[in-house]
């Protein structure tokens, strides 16, 4: 699950496993596998980093090891 912000400022939590596409129009539009769409304040890159962070947490919980997919961002402080 990732926390995002609707354009009206309301925060909500989205199931990252359901994300099918992220478009920039210029706002970020997230389309889920259910065809539901969300327009959010976060940029496409911010959403991707949130998903990577979420996935790395899931991997750590299930395997006890960090997710190496997140490692390139460690040095930039983006994936903690």
Please write the tens of the pLDDT for every residue from 30-46.
Answer: 999 999 999 999 999 99
Q: What is the pTM of this model?
A: 0.75
Please report whether residue 79 resides in a domain. Answer: no
Please report whether residue 30 resides in a domain. Answer: yes
pLDDT at 40: 99
Domain count, the chain: 1
Please report whether residue 59 resides in a domain. Answer: yes
The C-alpha torsion from 75 through 76 and 78 to 80, rounded to 10°, is 30
Order of all β-strands in the sheet with 19-24: 19-24, 28-32, 37-40
What's the pLDDT band for 59 if we cut at 50, 70, 90? Answer: confident
Q: What angle do CA 57, 54, 15 make, to 5 degrees?
A: 130
pLDDT at 18: 98
Domain that holds residue 37: 2-74
Please report whether residue 80 resides in a domain. Answer: no
Please report whether residue 38 resides in a domain. Answer: yes
Q: What is the rounded average pLDDT for all residues in the chain?
A: 86
């Amino acid at each position: 699950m990732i926390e995002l912000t609707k354009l009206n400022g309301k925060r909500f939590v989205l199931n990252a496993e359901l994300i099918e596409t992220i478009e920039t129009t210029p706002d970020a539009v997230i389309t889920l596998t259910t065809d539901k769409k969300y327009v959010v304040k976060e940029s496409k890159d911010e959403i991707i980093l949130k998903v990577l962070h979420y996935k790395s947490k899931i991997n750590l919980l299930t395997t006890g090891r960090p997710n190496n997919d997140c490692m390139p961002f460690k040095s930039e402080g983006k994936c903690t």
